[in-house]
C-alpha cells in the first residue's frame, strides 16, 4: 500500500503514478483493482446446476447439524450419484460483522465454522453453497453484502464455498445490473470458482442483461407447494407450479449452457400429490431450470426419492445441447412441450392442466414441428422415431398415433430416438 492514499472506500489515488486507480481497499489492507472486463467462471453450470437448498423446508432453522446430515443423505439416497452436487444454505446463517467488517457465521448455529463445514461437505464429494443479498440486509434481516462485496467474496473463497445465491431485498435505489456485476467481479477476483445464482425474481428482466454476469437468474417470485395457486403475502406473492410455468413465456431464447432461466427451487416432497410432484419435476427438467431440491431429503418417502432420482428425466435436463423446451401445442387443457436433444433425439412432454383425466390421440404425422428460435425441426412424415416413456418404460414409435390417458395434474414424458433407415 506504499504511495496510496485512501480518499473514499472505493477510490485510491496513486501518488507516484499521478492518476486515479479504481480499486477496493479491504479491511485486511488489500487493494484489489476493479475489473471492468471481468468474467464469471465460464466452466461452471455448463448444464443446469443440481443440488439442494434449505429454505423451502427449513427457512431460518438452519445449523451445521442439518447441513452435515443433508450431505450424508444426499449420498445415501442416491441423489449424489444421480447428479446432485450442491448443498446450499439459504438465509439466516449469518452472525455479525467483526470489527474489520468481515462477515461471520452464527456461532451457535455453526460452532465449528463455515470452513470446517465446507471441508465436511467436500469430503462427501459434494459442494457447499451459501446465501447473501445485494442490499443492506438479507430478506430475513441479516447483514447484506452492499459495500462489502469484495470482502465477502474473499471470505467465501477462504471458507471453501462453491455456490452463491444472491438475493434482492433491501435494495432501494440500487441498480441491479451494477449490483450483480460488482459481486460477479468480486467472486472472480477472489479466485475460487463459485457458481453465481442471481435471485432478483425477474423484476428487472435479468434474462436480457445477465448472461455474462450470473450462471442462472430467477424468472419469478418464490415458489409455493401447490399446483395452481397464488399465495399473497401482501406486497408480494408466492406461486404454484402452473403459475410459474406460465411466466416462462418468451424466455427460452435467453437460456443456454452457462446461463439458465431459474424457475426456483423445487417443492417435490413438500405436500403436493405424487402426480403433481412428477409433473413439477418433469417440467423443470424440460425447461432446463436448475434442479434444486427443497424438501427434507433426510426423511423423504421412497416415492419422492424415486422422482428426484429419475435419471432418464435428469438426463433430459442435463443434455449437452442445452436447448430449453418449446411449447409445441396448447389446447388450454393439454399442453405439449418439445425439447431437442443431442444426437438428433427429442423429449416430448404431455401436460394435463385440468381437474379431470383426459384422453388424447396425438397423430405424429399431422403435426410438423419447427423451432424457429434454435432452428430445429421434425417432419414426422419423413423422419421416424422410436420412443420410451421416461416414467413407465413403455415403448413405441411414431409410425402410429399415440393414444394417452393422462390423470389430472399429471404428465407423460417420452424420449424419441431416430430410427435407422
Q: Give yes or no: residues 127 and 226 share one domain.
A: yes
**Using CA atoms, how far apart are residues 235 and 106, in angstroms rounded to an integer?**
29
115 and 240 belong to one structural domain: yes
- Kindly state whether residue 137 falls inside one of the protein's structural domains: yes
Residues 372 and 401 in one domain: yes
Q: Is residue 45 part of a domain?
A: no
The tens digit of pLDDT for each residue in 333-363 reads 999 999 999 999 999 999 999 999 999 999 9
Does 18 score more than 70 pLDDT?
no
Mean pLDDT in residue range 370-387? 96
> Which residue range forms the structural domain that includes residue 23?
4-33
Tell me: do 201 and 122 sit in the same domain.
yes
DSSP readout, 14-51? Answer: ETTTTEEEEEEE-TTS-EEE--TT----TTS-SS--EE
- Confidence band of 234 (pLDDT split at 50, 70, 90): confident
What is the C-alpha separation between 71 and 89, in angstroms, rounded?
Answer: 11
| Co-location of 142 and 240 in the same domain | yes
Number of domains in the chain: 3
Cell of 325: 423446451
For residue 43, being part of any structural domain is answered with no
- Last residue of some domain: 295, 317, 339? 317
Given a cut of 60, whether residue 126 has pLDDT beyond it is yes
Do residues 266 and 252 touch, judged by C-beta distance below 8 A?
no
Task: Select from 296, 317, 338 the last residue of a domain.
Answer: 317
Min mean pLDDT across 27-41, 112-126, 345-359 is at: 27-41
Q: Do 265 and 391 belong to one domain?
A: no
41 within domain boundaries: no
Residue 42 inside a domain? The answer is no
User: Residues 180, 213: contact at Cβ < 8 Å?
Assistant: yes
Is the pLDDT reported for residue 1 higher than 80? no
Q: Are residues 273 and 357 in the same domain?
A: no
My answer on whether 374 and 228 are in the same domain is no
- The pLDDT assigned to 411 comes to 98
Please check whether residues 251 and 398 belong to one and the same domain: no
The CATH number of the domain holding residue 116 is 3.20.20.70
Domain of 337, CATH number, reads 2.60.40.1180
Residue 307 in domain: yes
Residues 339 and 223 in one domain: no
CA-CA distance, 43 to 211, in Å (whole number)? 14
Give the residue numbers annotated as catalytic, written as ranges.
167, 222
| Predicted TM-score of the model (pTM) | 0.92
Q: Rounded to whole angstroms, how far apart are CA atoms 311 and 318?
A: 10
Are 285 and 353 within one domain? Answer: no
- Residue 40 inside a domain? The answer is no
pLDDT given at position 37: 53
Q: Examine the domain organization and report whether 300 and 330 are in the same domain.
A: no
Of the residues 293, 317, 341, the one at which a domain ends: 317
Amino acid at each position: 500500500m506504499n504511495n496510496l492514499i485512501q480518499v473514499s472506500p472505493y477510490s485510491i489515488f496513486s501518488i507516484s503514478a499521478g492518476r486515479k486507480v479504481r480499486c477496493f481497499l479491504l479491511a485486511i489492507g488489500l487493494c484489489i483493482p476493479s475489473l471492468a472486463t471481468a468474467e464469471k467462471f465460464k466452466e461452471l453450470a455448463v448444464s443446469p446446476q443440481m443440488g439442494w437448498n434449505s429454505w423451502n423446508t427449513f427457512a431460518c432453522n438452519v445449523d451445521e447439524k442439518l447441513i452435515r446430515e443433508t450431505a450424508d443423505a444426499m449420498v445415501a439416497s442416491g441423489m449424489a450419484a444421480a447428479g446432485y452436487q450442491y448443498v446450499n444454505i439459504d438465509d439466516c446463517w449469518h452472525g455479525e460483522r467483526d470489527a474489520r467488517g468481515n462477515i461471520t457465521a452464527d456461532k451457535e448455529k455453526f460452532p465449528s465454522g463455515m470452513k470446517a463445514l465446507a471441508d465436511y461437505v467436500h469430503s462427501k464429494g459434494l459442494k457447499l453453497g451459501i446465501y447473501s443479498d445485494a442490499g443492506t440486509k438479507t430478506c430475513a434481516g441479516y447483514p447484506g453484502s452492499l459495500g462489502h462485496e469484495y470482502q465477502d467474496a474473499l471470505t467465501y473463497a477462504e471458507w471453501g464455498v462453491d455456490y452463491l445465491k444472491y438475493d434482492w431485498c433491501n435494495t432501494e435505489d440500487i441498480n441491479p445490473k451494477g449490483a450483480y456485476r460488482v459481486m460477479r467481479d468480486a467472486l472472480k477476483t477472489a479466485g475460487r470458482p463459485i457458481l453465481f445464482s442471481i435471485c432478483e425474481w425477474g423484476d428487472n428482466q435479468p434474462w436480457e442483461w445477465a448472461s455474462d454476469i450470473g450462471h442462472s437468474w430467477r424468472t419469478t417470485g418464490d415458489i409455493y407447494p401447490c399446483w395452481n395457486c397464488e399465495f399473497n403475502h401482501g406486497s408480494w406473492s408466492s406461486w404454484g407450479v402452473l403459475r410459474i410455468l406460465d411466466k416462462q413465456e418468451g424466455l427460452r431464447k435467453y437460456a443456454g449452457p452457462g446461463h439458465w432461466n431459474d424457475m426456483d427451487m423445487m417443492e417435490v416432497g413438500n405436500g403436493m400429490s405424487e402426480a403433481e410432484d412428477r409433473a413439477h419435476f418433469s417440467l423443470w427438467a424440460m425447461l432446463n431450470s436448475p434442479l434444486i431440491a427443497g424438501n427434507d431429503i433426510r426423511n423423504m418417502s421412497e416415492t419422492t426419492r424415486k422422482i428426484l432420482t429419475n435419471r432418464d428425466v435428469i438426463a433430459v435436463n442435463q443434455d449437452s445441447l442445452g436447448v430449453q423446451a418449446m411449447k409445441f401445442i396448447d389446447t388450454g387443457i393439454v399442453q405439449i412441450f418439445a425439447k431437442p436433444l443431442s444426437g438428433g433425439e427429442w423429449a416430448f412432454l404431455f401436460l394435463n392442466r385440468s381437474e379431470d383425466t383426459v384422453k388424447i390421440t396425438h397423430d405424429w404425422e399431422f403435426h410438423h414441428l419447427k423451432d424457429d428460435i434454435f432452428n430445429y425441426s421434425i417432419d414426422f412424415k419423413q423422419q421416424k422415431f422410436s420412443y420410451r416413456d421416461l416414467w413407465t418404460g413403455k415403448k413405441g414409435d411414431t409410425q402410429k398415433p399415440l393414444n394417452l390417458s393422462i390423470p389430472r395434474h399429471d404428465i407423460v414424458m417420452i424420449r424419441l430416438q431416430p430410427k435407422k433407415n
